[in-house]
Amino acid sequence: MKAVFLDEQQRLNSVLNVINDQTFQLESETLKLRNEVVNTRKHFWDEIKVNTDSFDDFLETVINLRQEAQALAVGESTHHYASKRLAVLHRMKSVPYFGRIDFLEEGFSEQEKIYIGISSLMDASGEDFLIYDWRAPISSVYYDYEPGPAQYTTPGGKVYGDLKEKWQYVIRDGKLQSMFDTSLTIGDEILQKVLGKGVDKYMQSIVATIQKDQNRIIRHDQGRMLIVHGAAGSGKTSAALQRIAFLLYKYRDRIKADQIILFSPNAMFNSYVSNVLPELGEENMQQVTFQEYLDHRLSKDFHLENPYHQLEYVLTAANNPSYSARIKGIQFKASVKFFEAIKLYRETLEKSGLLFKDVKFRGKMIFSSQQLSETFYREHISLSFQSRLEKLKDWLMNKIKEIEKVERSQPWVEEEIELLSDETYHKIHKYLAKKNGFEREEQADYEMDQDALIQVIVRLKLKAVRKQIQTLDFIDLEGIYKQLFTDPLLMQQQLKVEVPDEWQAICEDTLQILESGTLYYEDATPFLFLQELIQGFQTNRSIKHILIDEAQDYSPFQFEFLKRLFPSAKMTVLGDFNQAIFAHASGVGDFQTLNHLYGEEQTEVINMTRSYRSTKPIIEFTRNLIANGEKIIPFDRAGELPVLTEVENHTDLHQCILSKISELQSKGYGSIAVICKSAEESKAAFEALNKIDGIKLIKSGTVEFEKGVIVIPSYLAKGIEFEAVIIYDASENVYGDESLRRVFYTACTRAMHVLQLYSVGRPSSFMQKALDGNLLQHELTS
Ligand SMILES: Nc1ncnc2c1ncn2[C@@H]1O[C@H](COP(=O)(O)OP(=O)(O)OP(=O)(O)O)[C@@H](O)[C@H]1O
């Protein structure tokens, strides 16, 4: 074995030499390219003689310009790729590869040793691969097979063969530390090591230890829709990010990083995952939250409720008299039922119910809402809804032309001219001079005539009205949406929708909040959907893939919406209904409705039941908190039993937490989270614990993920992990209601190595099963 190890170290050294040579060469080439680009930019105009005397001269100038610009663009992009490759080579100096397969291809007599790393490397002759990129077709054998018959798919078809051996290497700073023949070792020692480590500020890539089911997600390539339902800690986010890296590799000629969007749960999560792709030598995809999109579309007309505000209400306002109606409203407005109702509603608007705004000019009504409604329902009724709106728009634009003529002789125009500022006057003068064919140098000679000035003034004044008509902003969308809640017969009789109990209260609440100019989070997507059904859909065809993490938090409504918004994109949806903490998803247990989004033949579902984040004792405890938790398989990593400490009051609680944190810090835990149910509870906890050096309170607006000691509400901890988790108060008093089970589960599953729960008084009954099964160490302080 020692000889094998020495041989491997020797090979590693020779690979490192190649990496060093290539780095050296590329560094000087990159420098040269950089200088060339800077030089071209600096002297861009020196190379071009601008001559527009004759048409031929003009043409020559344009051609020269284009050639120079092209040369510059080629130089810039070559420099960009060279720098990117250089960054990868620098990373490969530390860990050139992490695995090896010895593969005997069918029809060949000699097996080949395939070394696998974050990127490919050729030998000096450029003929042989010293390292294969982990995303190359042959590398999939490493992730998918144990020694024995194996196959992989290439663009030219399937390749069959025999996997003879499979090795894992631990290389740090270019030194071989250890190597394992994985066909001989029991368990995954490298995975054990990786998972046993502390956390960094950023999520790490998992390419060295991708598991078989994760590899299926990463390399999935058929159909429009991939649905991944995976237990907490099963690697959904990790698989999503490596999938993006895979897509950028496989389709490098066709897909750029900015054509992929990751929908993430919050801004802090964006920073947490921001390092994975750059670590793999790829650029980051676009990252957005659904709220950001809603804000972009609706915030000029409404004050939009933030989803965390909604959650905070759900978690803290149970004693409010309108609580139950709001919850039922949230669930109803997220349902497919409401989605279908809105589609039907839009159809009924073809006959009646479309409301319009009065269109005003200089404070005077020029078209009344009634006049618009009568015209819409009288004219062109055989045409489609959209065409009728277009016709109405054309009619209005023509009317505006008539109004424009009449307005020119109104006294306000003279007054307006008298009050014109010098600046505006000069702008108009310049505009008219140019329009009348005066060159820049001659413009001062242009004498502006009064009629032309009047025309410009009136046209300018009418610009806003024209825009209102062009953008169909004369339709009273808010009024139309409100009708769903004001007309008692509309929902039940006309649209035949079964409304929830307390419908009357839901209607009153919705109308009241809309009156105040606010749109509830649960109303935002339905409103936008109705708006688009009426005004036409906005689409973005340049996006090729969208990946939706924490997808259990999205309503069927939102998925429909995303599908329409990105018509050319494939969708990857990753989620876990045991962590569905938004009220609209309570009672929902799977992605059934999503199977139909693109049709079943376009949809593949992958379930992941193995959980990697937490130690075995923590997973054995957390899986007892939920129904069917026994299906979750812990990765076999040892650790302490989670501890539940019961205290009598909050003073004792804070005392205990303070000493626990100091104990954890002295044991070397660098990332410790005190997880609270809500922002309200987090604020109180933070105030009581703020003597801890460097402690931070995480709020919904926090954008940077930090290590250290933090206090965080459960819903913001989603998707993130901590070496040690302290559940601030796991009492029945706080987590008593069944609806909070998923919140509690989500909070507990954030722990990697240590889980400590406190309870002021009687512990939550969610833990009873675990207590009965001795999966939780129970301590009393008094
Ligand atoms: N194959 C793997 N190799 C190494 N680490 C892994 C692997 N799979 C998952 N992990 C680690 O397990 C942890 C959980 O992974 P991740 O956050 O991707 O899970 P998740 O399913 O998105 O979790 P949750 O739904 O609870 O947010 C991370 O630390 C990740 O690095």
- Which ligand 1 atom is at minimum distance from the Cα of 612? 12
Pairing type for strands 129-133 and 121-122 reads antiparallel
Q: For a ligand 1 pocket test, name from 195, 203, 238 the mutation site with the most ligand atoms within 8 angstroms of its C-beta.
A: 238
Is residue 567 classed as helix, strand or coil in its secondary structure? coil
> What kind and span of H or E run contains 527?
helix 521-535
What 8-state DSSP symbol labels residue 434?
H
- Do 237 and 719 form a contact (C-beta atoms < 8 A)? yes
Residue 235 labelled as part of a binding site: yes
- Do 346 and 481 form a contact (C-beta atoms < 8 A)? no
Query: What is the reported pLDDT for 490?
Result: 86
Structure token digits, residue 44: 């861009």
Residue 232 labelled as part of a binding site: yes
- Do 524 and 240 form a contact (C-beta atoms < 8 A)? no
Structure token digits, residue 335: 């349902």
Ligand 1 centroid – CA 266 distance (Å): 18
Locate the DSSP E strands across 457-538.
Answer: 518-519
Query: What is the reported pLDDT for 417?
Result: 87
pLDDT tens digits, one per residue of 580-624: 887 766 656 677 778 888 999 999 999 999 999 999 999 999 999
What is the assigned CATH class of domain 616-780? alpha beta
Structure token digits, residue 597: 């989004």
- Do 587 and 597 form a contact (C-beta atoms < 8 A)? no
Ligand 1 centroid – CA 642 distance (Å): 20
CA 377/CA 350 separation, integer angstroms: 8
Closest Cα to atom 13, ligand 1: which residue?
A: 613
Ligand 1 centroid – CA 774 distance (Å): 27
Residue 71 labelled as part of a binding site: no
Structure token digits, residue 780: 């009393």
Residue 231 labelled as part of a binding site: yes
- Which ligand 1 atom is at minimum distance from the Cα of 241? 18
To the nearest 10°, report the CA torsion of 444, 449, 452, 458.
100
The length of the chain is 782
- Which ligand 1 atom is at minimum distance from the Cα of 199? 29
Ligand 1 centroid – CA 340 distance (Å): 37
Q: What is the 3-state secondary structure (H, E, C) of 279-291?
A: HCCCCCCEEECHH
Closest Cα to atom 14, ligand 1: which residue?
A: 233
Residue 234 labelled as part of a binding site: yes
Taking each helix axis as running N to C, give the angle between helix 521-535 and helix 503-515, from 0 to 180 degrees, rounded to the nearest 10.
Answer: 80
Q: Which residues line ligand 1 (CB under 6 A)?
A: 191, 194-195, 204, 206, 209-211, 214, 230, 232-238, 576, 579, 612-613, 719, 721, 749
Ligand 1 centroid – CA 231 distance (Å): 10
- Which ligand 1 atom is at minimum distance from the Cα of 550? 25
CA 568/CA 541 separation, integer angstroms: 5
- Do 119 and 102 form a contact (C-beta atoms < 8 A)? no
- Which ligand 1 atom is at minimum distance from the Cα of 203? 31
Q: For a ligand 1 pocket test, name from 98, 197, 201, 206 the mutation site with the most ligand atoms within 8 angstroms of its C-beta.
A: 206
Ligand 1 centroid – CA 663 distance (Å): 27
CA 228/CA 236 separation, integer angstroms: 7
Closest Cα to atom 16, ligand 1: which residue?
A: 235
Q: What is the rounded radius of gyration, in angstroms, for the C-alpha atoms of the chain?
A: 32
Ligand 1 centroid – CA 233 distance (Å): 5
CA 558/CA 520 separation, integer angstroms: 15
Ligand 1 centroid – CA 637 distance (Å): 14
Domain boundaries, the chain: 1-206, 359-471, 616-780
Query: What is the reported pLDDT for 421?
Result: 86
Closest Cα to atom 15, ligand 1: which residue?
A: 235
Is residue 478 classed as helix, strand or coil in its secondary structure? helix
- Which ligand 1 atom is at minimum distance from the Cα of 239? 18
- Do 728 and 684 form a contact (C-beta atoms < 8 A)? no
Is residue 604 classed as helix, strand or coil in its secondary structure? strand
- In angstroms, what CA-CA distances link 251 with 339, 404, 528, 714? 35, 54, 34, 38
**CA-closest candidate to residue 241, choices 275, 281, 277:** 277
Query: What is the reported pLDDT for 477?
Result: 96
- Which ligand 1 atom is at minimum distance from the Cα of 720? 27
- In angstroms, what CA-CA distances link 661 with 8, 456, 614, 695, 720? 44, 71, 19, 11, 19
Closest Cα to atom 24, ligand 1: which residue?
A: 232
What ipTM goes with this model?
A: 0.99
Structure token digits, residue 718: 């989603």
> What kind and span of H or E run contains 102?
strand 99-105
Residue 230 labelled as part of a binding site: yes
What 8-state DSSP symbol labels residue 221?
-
- Do 118 and 12 form a contact (C-beta atoms < 8 A)? no
Ligand 1 centroid – CA 581 distance (Å): 20
Is residue 693 classed as helix, strand or coil in its secondary structure? coil
Pairing type for strands 99-105 and 157-172 reads antiparallel
List of the chain residues with pLDDT < 70: 1, 41, 43-55, 58, 75, 184-187, 198-199, 584-589, 782
Is residue 10 classed as helix, strand or coil in its secondary structure? helix
DSSP string, 173-218: TTEEEEEEETTTSSS-HHHHHHHHSPP-SSPPP-GGG--HHHHHHH
Ligand 1 centroid – CA 459 distance (Å): 60
Ligand 1 centroid – CA 622 distance (Å): 16
Q: What is the 3-state secondary structure (H, E, C) of 632-669?
A: CEECCCCCCCCEEEEECCHHHHHHHHHHHHHHHHHCCC
Residue 684 labelled as part of a binding site: no
CA 329/CA 573 separation, integer angstroms: 25
Residue 196 labelled as part of a binding site: no
- Which ligand 1 atom is at minimum distance from the Cα of 575? 25
Ligand 1 centroid – CA 49 distance (Å): 59
Structure token digits, residue 241: 């990010």
- Do 546 and 562 form a contact (C-beta atoms < 8 A)? yes
